[in-house]
Amino acid sequence: MKFSQLSIYLDQLDSTSSRIEITKILSTLLKSAQDNEIDKIIYLVLGRLAPQYHGLVFNIADQLMLQSLSLCYATDLGEVKKLYRSLGDLGLVAEKLKKEKTPQHHPKPLSVIDVFNRLKTIALDEGEGSQDRKITEMARLLSELDGLSVRFVTRIPIGKLRLGFSDKTIIDALSWQQNADKQFSQAIKKAYDVLPDIGLLARLIKQSGIENATKNIKPIIGTPVMPMLAQRLKSPAEMIKKMGEVAIEPKFDGLRLQIHFQKNKPTKAFTRNLNETSWMFPELESIGQKIKANSAIFDCEAVGLSENSKKMVNFQTTMTRRRKHEVLSHSQKTPIRFQVFDLLFLNDKSLLHLSYEERRKLLKEIVTDKNLLIVDEYLVTSSPEVITQKHKEWIKKGLEGIIVKQVNSEYVPGRTGWRWVKMKEEEQSKAKLKDTVDCIIMGYSFGKGKRSGFGMGQFLAGIKDQETVKTITKVGTGLTDEQFRTLKKRLKKLETSQKPKEYIPGIKSLLPDFWVIPNLVVELAADEITKSPGHSSGFALRFPRLVRFRDDKSPSDATTLSEIKKLFQLQ
């Protein structure tokens, strides 16, 4: 497929917000794609070059792209910047310059694979002089494309393609191309949860059909499995009623991690939002000496410890490990213990279909360490009173609460059924709501008085509803002065002149002064959830305050509208 053909589809997708229309357009596009290009087409329409867990980024900011446009169209940089201020979209700037200026090279029909490979080369270019090379190569690529293609190829490297859909809509489109409906979406989603590379999955479906491609999917070392998540229930009595016999585990205030071990290969670690963070944990280099296995995938919580007392520290302190510089120094200041609670894969065999107790038995057998890898304790019971007792006991020990798990349950990625249920107590937030809410920051507004110096006074937060983000609250409390300053800097980089397509705004008085692209997730506490005609979700958080920034979560991990409805009923 020529990239100019793909651009026509991109233009159609850019021009509609209808979910059904987007699915139909994508279905037609995927049906016309060849085996060797369908994965690349999918990555490009999602604005990336690989599955999310690869962590491949362009490192091209707006300023660098402005220089590429200046070079490509032999136009003064000041003039390009002026045009950008006027149009507010570098893709439109590039398209306008293409029409008005004479390019240095005549356009030639590049294929999707050509453009993909050249963008990947630009993204992988690192080291001394790489910024100048990126500017030059980006300019050269743009000069060889038509006007419509230029609009989209300019947006992709700076993270501004944003067509308003994610992997979930691609899954529906893959089903739609087979039967003009979502009949096969569930089967594809089940396979995707085990192998979350939507490009690879699409290629397998293209080659062998949906049934053959999805029936034998199993975990692969180095590719994170979507984590199994806990639901909420009102009381221990209801837990026993819905779940029967359960296992009670402590809930730690740490970083959810999936550890992938393969003998004689580097050990990898992934967060719950599929980001690889192996570099944060140099301790993992010695994991092979602490387990009896050739290969394994562990589900665990990375818990930071104080340097001297070895007592558990809070999540924010644990996350100081994120700094890529002086990793060894930070690992010494904040030692880590991995509280392991599940085993997904062992010696080239998937364990997802085994029961909780069968997986725990194997886990206990293969972990020989007592310091770095700690297999969580658990207690099996059918008594609501025992659940309450253990919850109070672990809260007193400084833990977050408990996780209650059905003893005969398989490991099912995502938040489905009543297999796992969490029971927390937000002591520090002093919240009356039984659980916190993970929200996406949608925009922010100017501050008044003291906060005018920060450049912001409050932010608008939203929750997920399918592929859209709906408003639920504005937050201006719970942040320190330093957090306000840091947040403003982060949001400034995410500002966009136009409201993102996936955002459903509330009433006019709730609109922010500045929109930002969906990127930052925050954990909020509140006194209660109330019904609200002003917010697009139909609900509002009463007295919301920031508990912490959740850099370990992506927008896809945010609380959903259906979860808010359940929390509302649990009050």
Active-site residue numbers? 251
Burial class of residue 11, CB neighbours in 10 A (0-12, 13-18, 19+): middle
246 forms beta bridges with 381, 406
Would strands 336-346 and 349-350 be described as parallel, antiparallel, or unpaired?
Answer: antiparallel
Residues 6+ apart with CB under 8 A from 126: none
Quote the CA–CA distance of 336 and 185 in Å, as a whole number.
40
Determine which helix (DSSP H) or strand (DSSP E) holds 42, and give its type and residue range.
helix 38-45
- Residue 280 DSSP one-character state: G
Quote the CA–CA distance of 216 and 196 in Å, as a whole number.
14
Would strands 437-445 and 514-516 be described as parallel, antiparallel, or unpaired?
Answer: antiparallel
What sign results for the dihedral spanned by CA atoms 74, 75, 76, 77?
Answer: negative
Phi and psi torsions of 171, nearest 5°: -60, -45
Burial class of residue 310, CB neighbours in 10 A (0-12, 13-18, 19+): exposed
* Amino acid making up residue 225: V
Task: Work out the end-to-end distance of the chain between its first and last CA atoms, rounded to an integer number of angstroms.
Answer: 54
> What's the maximum distance between 2 C-alpha atoms anywhere in the chain?
78
Phi and psi torsions of 8, nearest 5°: -65, -45
Collapsing DSSP states into helix, strand and coil, what is residue 75? Answer: coil
Quote the CA–CA distance of 288 and 367 in Å, as a whole number.
10
Closest CA to 466 of 46, 163, 169: 169
Closest CA to 298 of 354, 259, 255, 356: 259
The vertex-201 CA angle with 196 and 206, nearest 5°, equals: 170
79 CB neighbour count, 10 Å cutoff = 13
Place of tokens 């602490």: 290
The vertex-357 CA angle with 352 and 359, nearest 5°, equals: 40
Quote the CA–CA distance of 415 and 439 in Å, as a whole number.
17
Collapsing DSSP states into helix, strand and coil, what is residue 85? Answer: helix
305 forms beta bridges with 312
Quote the CA–CA distance of 236 and 231 in Å, as a whole number.
13
CA distances from 212 to 168, 171, 454, 524 (A): 20, 16, 56, 43
- CA torsion, ordered 388, 392, 397, 402, to nearest 10 deg: 40
- Write out the two tokens for 6: 């793909």
282 CB neighbour count, 10 Å cutoff = 15
